């Protein structure tokens, strides 16, 4: 199976070595890029010395920045496409190795929890990737307002660049020390992760700590029903109902996360 996946990745990428040999060094990059990007600091951030800096510049290049450059540059969308395929393979490989008795359906569910926009954006924030992205002013404003897609897309594009530049091993190492480390796994793979996910999101966005308020307790002792609202700042962001306070809080947090996601998608 691994050989089949590698063959598919090879079809997606074409001749990697031929492409790398045609790429310019960092010092020859256009002035707008040199003015906006500390590439050496970026290399330290991802823990990888690029053989082909232009690949990684394109991984950081949002389409909104293209008007500032001459023709011949591509946005990070193609690298994101490739990185998504590489990431799905690496996460599948990891989960298959670490869970030998797990059924295919459960493995698929676990992978979908890890490879989603919210988790990828969280990893990108922890790496402070926003400091390196090449964006227009309007796209930067969207990022400041909480856009997760810009961050998650850039992270996948970086994984694609790592694969093209050095093969599967550098990509595997990067995914292992970021997405597959214990803290991120705990948030992504536990069933009751909505409260912690909401807390991480609001803290990352500078919105403070969510506040849970019990609105109603109904029913006899053996069949209680709790209605809980969650507030971020002064705004009610979600309502949850459950047979326990914990269950209701989780439902409220899940609704709040969905609301923030919808706002992000509309921005």
Q: Give the integer Cα–Cα distance in Å for 220 and 218.
A: 7
**What six digits make up the tokens of 206?**
């500078």
Identify whether 84 is a catalytic site residue. yes
CB-based contacts of 145: which residues, under 8 Å, 6+ apart? Answer: 267
Given 80, 84, 153, 229, the catalytic residue: 84
Q: Give the integer Cα–Cα distance in Å for 213 and 67.
A: 49
Given 80, 148, 153, 156, the catalytic residue: 156
Scan for tokens 């807390």, then name that residue: 199
Scan for tokens 């093969």, then name that residue: 167
**What six digits make up the tokens of 173?**
């190492």
| Ramachandran angles phi, psi of 176, nearest 5° | -65, -40
What are the residues facing 134 on neighbouring strands? Answer: 61
Q: Which residues are catalytically annotated?
A: 84, 156
């Amino acid at each position: 199976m691994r050989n089949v996946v590698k063959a598919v990745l090879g079809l997606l990428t074409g001749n990697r070595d031929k492409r790398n040999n045609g790429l310019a060094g960092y010092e020859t990059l256009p002035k707008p890029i040199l003015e906006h990007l500390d590439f050496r600091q970026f290399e330290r951030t991802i823990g990888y010395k690029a053989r082909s800096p232009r690949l990684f510049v394109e991984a950081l290049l949002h389409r909104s920045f293209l008007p500032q450059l001459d023709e011949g540059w591509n946005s990070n969308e193609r690298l994101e496409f490739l990185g998504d395929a590489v990431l799905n393979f690496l996460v599948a490989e990891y989960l298959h190795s670490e869970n030998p008795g797990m059924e295919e359906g459960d493995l698929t569910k676990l992978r979908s929890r890890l490879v989603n926009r919210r988790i990828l954006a969280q990893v990108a924030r922890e790496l402070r990737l926003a400091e390196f992205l090449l964006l227009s002013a309007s796209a930067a404003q969207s990022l400041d307002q909480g856009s997760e897609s810009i961050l998650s897309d850039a992270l996948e594009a970086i994984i694609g660049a790592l694969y093209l530049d050095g093969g599967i091993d550098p990509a595997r190492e990067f995914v292992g020390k970021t997405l597959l480390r214990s803290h991120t796994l705990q948030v992504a793979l536990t069933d009751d992760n909505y409260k912690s996910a909401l807390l991480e999101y609001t803290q990352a966005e500078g919105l403070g700590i969510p506040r849970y308020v019990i609105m109603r307790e109904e029913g006899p002792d053996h069949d209680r029903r709790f209605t809980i609202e969650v507030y971020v700042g002064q705004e009610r962001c979600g309502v949850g109902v459950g047979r326990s306070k914990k269950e209701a809080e989780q439902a409220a947090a899940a609704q709040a996360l969905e609301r923030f996601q919808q706002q992000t998608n509309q921005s």
